[in-house]
Amino acid sequence: MAREVIEKKLFIENIILLKEIEDRRDFMEEEIGVDMSIYEEKFLQVIENLFKIHFNKEQFALIQYYLYQVPTIVDWDGKIDLSDGKEMITVDFETPEQVWNVITSLKIK
């Protein structure tokens, strides 16, 4: 299997798992009153640091936006606007695969 295919598969799997962790943490806090963030913080820092090693700042910022900001946006249409330096373009950004496609289309380090 080609390296790019493996990286894409692992990225998508990691994003799905991170979203599940966020959902579980929110559930635990809202329904049970237990704040799990204090226990998960260091693990999430390690994961974010690994993303920082592999992706540039713009790519990492988009990953964070997808994981932490998008879920809070009411009536979000699943798209984001990006600048290619000349004009704004609108791209699909609703699934982990679409996030992968957007961030890999950006210039790598």
Q: Which region, left, alpha or beta, applies to residue 33 given φ > 0 means left and ψ of -120 to 50 means alpha?
A: left
pLDDT computed for residue 31 by the predictor = 86
Domain that holds residue 54: 3-105
**Cβ atoms within 10 Å of 106's Cβ, excluding its own:** 13
pLDDT 10s digits, 16-72: 999 998 888 888 888 888 887 788 888 889 999 999 999 999 999 999 999 999 988
Cβ neighbourhood burial of 11 (10 Å; 0-12, 13-18, 19+)? buried
What local confidence, expressed as pLDDT, does residue 35 receive?
82
Distance CA 49, CA 27 (A): 26
Q: What is the pTM of this model?
A: 0.85
Domain count, the chain: 1
CA atoms of 100 and 50, how far apart (whole Å): 16
